[in-house]
Chains A and B, each alone.
Chain A
């Protein structure tokens, strides 16, 4: 909070999006540095950071999609279900039908595309509330996952497992372990995919007509319509992008865990929404940033790691801390925005 007050002079000049992004990034760095200083241990090693990335690559991708939908003023709570459905379908295809990697990627994209088309049409052209449509979508995906296969199982396909274990070393950030052997820091393929998507979406939102339309539609539908923006198509595209990203995120998730189960990615949609909010995206639409979402995911998982390494390992602490963090971020956003509104009025 101190930070934002010092900036009062430039405070009003910043757009809502940038202001919230700054808050998020600053808080994330404070949190991480705090963890390094006070907890030490694993946090001093760069690999800790990369592990967070490895475990959350799929969350980054789905949260980016969620941000796009939220910027355009909608919501999509089906992403967790889609992730579970994708991983189950790919697992069954690879193991029981002797499928290839390319085929499984196509399945993931296909499921995402189908979901995006159906949900996008229902939301944009039939004017049904996105919450209800994606709620049904979530139910459908979770149900279908169990219909495809009830029991959870690990994928045995050797080609897939080779891909799963592929590690990309990060130069210069390894550590020397107790035996004096140099252990390089690594990331999984999913992380590269996630970062690539973050960069692409950042550019799309900032420099393309679609990106600007998304902000315009989310900010004020009526005035966007009067500016000649095709509101329906923009809404449709936002849901399409989100679902395709959920499909890709599902494959990355599958690549990370290497199994199919109906209980996969339980509550992921809520984590994605929480990350987007922490990253400064507002559910009312028109405000948000992909970079912020990336930091949102990182903050969320960093706090989880801090809680776990602080010895508060009872299951309930994670839930409570995430909720407390969400609460704090929401209050900061709410206070900052109302302060700003007041300043503008005067």
Chain B
């Protein structure tokens, strides 16, 4: 009974990311007991804001969490990953700035309502997703390779949209999305993530998207024989990812009120894929657990913040991240888990023999 429960807990997909989260939390707590302290202060504009490492993690992990939602679906349906999300963020963000600033790099007022710009960015993001989706679903090109096209071209296209200028949005309201709304001390990004998660939860609960995605990922042919259209499902997951990218682009661009084509959302595709893998989802497709992926995204951000706290240079960050990732992946590998399980079984036996 007891053993079964342990097996049930360790077998759960949320186990690995949760353990990683707890481990990181303990390390931080030992290193600095004040790590989890959240203080209420005021920012430059005189508005109340919450600050503290925990808030930083929640704030800066939001783009990753939103991307993880879409990436999980794409991974599950097509058994491959979209490596163009960083570049697509640049494209969507650039389009958003182009609408807001109307082709003028230093406008006095915004040229269009923010909602219009956001909708345009959504359309652009979904178009990019549709492009990837068509290549993957209809032309049957492996997802990583199909998205390699936008990965190489994306930042160039983004620069081309704005004639390689770096427009600055003059309206302070635009900065609310990546910062704080006056009077509310919680970062706006947290609300955006919550909205996205609620929408996704509703979709998964009330539509067949989740079931169909898994069916296509597990066996494309048998799902087709069961009346599911695998081409459409794959295409749809890429479009959904495109939408997630547009939301992430809104946050990213809003944080700075401007854009830097070659740096914005750099390497975020790798982090998003890692989030999916950390959540225990098979990168070869099939069953998925959305919540584990989102948790994985925050684990990665937690790790990043922890490393910054230990005064690791931002360039050298990657090396430490790699070590942690490899350790995590090794421990979640099926062969290693099998070996540990066998070892755990042998241990009581040998003890009994010794007695």
Contacts and interface: CB of A to CB of B under 8 A. Distances in A.
Contacts of A39: none
B316 A147 contact: yes
B148 A273 contact: yes
Given A139-B270, A334-B139, A270 B151 contact: yes
A177 interface: no
A137 interface: yes
Contacts of B195: none
Nearest to B321: A139
Contact of A140 (B159, B318, B330, B335): B318
A132 B315 contact: no
A122 B326 contact: yes
Interface string B131-161: 0000100011110111011111111110110
Given A129-B284, A334-B141, A150 B155 contact: no
A270 B144 CA distance: 11
B333 A128 contact: yes
A2 to B, nearest CB: 20
Given A126-B336, A316-B160, A136 B148 contact: no
Contacts of B316: 143-144, 146-147
B343 interface: no
Interface in B58-86: 81
B283 A316 contact: no
A131 B160 contact: no
B83 to A, nearest CB: 8
B344 interface: no
B322 A277 contact: no
- Most chain B beta-carbon contacts within 10 A, residue among A127, A330, A331: A330
Interface in B110-143: 135, 139-142
B31 interface: no
A143 B325 CA distance: 14
A320 B153 contact: yes
B336 A330 contact: no
A208 interface: no
A19 interface: no
Interface string B321-349: 11101100110011110000000000000
Contacts of B157: 316, 319-320
Contacts of B149: 323, 326-327, 330
Q: How large is the interface on A (under 10, 10 to 19, 20 to 34, 35 or more residues)?
A: 35 or more
Nearest to A262: B315
A331 B131 CA distance: 13
Interface in A120-136: 122, 125-129, 131-133, 135-136
Contact of A330 (B145, B317, B334): B145
B329 A132 contact: yes
Given A75-B144, A319-B153, A131 B81 contact: yes
B323 A126 contact: no
A187 to B, nearest CB: 28
Chief secondary structure at chain A's binding surface = helix
A298 to B, nearest CB: 18
Interface in A300-346: 314-320, 322-324, 326-327, 330-331, 333-335, 338
Contacts of A144: 316, 319
A338 B138 CA distance: 11
Nearest to B334: A127
Nearest to A322: B152
A104 to B, nearest CB: 22
Contacts of A128: 329-330, 333
A331 B164 contact: no
Contacts of A277: 145, 148
Given A129-B284, A273-B145, A319 B320 contact: no
A68 interface: no
A139 B156 contact: no
A166 interface: no
B299 to A, nearest CB: 15
Given A132-B325, A150-B313, A270-B148, A331 B139 contact: yes
Contacts of A283: 142, 144-145
A316 B159 contact: yes
Contacts of B325: 132, 135-136, 139
Contacts of A139: 270, 318-319, 321-322, 325
Nearest to A319: B156
Contacts of A326: 148-149, 152
B283 A132 contact: yes
Contacts of A146: 313, 315-316, 319
Nearest to A327: B149
Contacts of A317: 156
A143 B153 contact: no
B318 A274 contact: no
B277 interface: yes
Nearest to A333: B141
B138 to A, nearest CB: 9
Interface of B: 81, 135, 139-142, 144-146, 148-157, 159-160, 164, 270, 273-274, 277, 283-284, 313, 315-323, 325-326, 329-330, 333-336
8 contacts: A127-B334, A136-B325, A143-B319, A146-B316, A267-B152, A317-B156, A319-B152, A319-B155
Given A75-B144, A132-B274, A143-B322, 13 more contacts: A127-B335, A128-B333, A136-B322, A139-B319, A143-B316, A144-B316, A144-B319, A150-B313, A274-B152, A277-B145, A314-B160, A314-B164, A316-B164
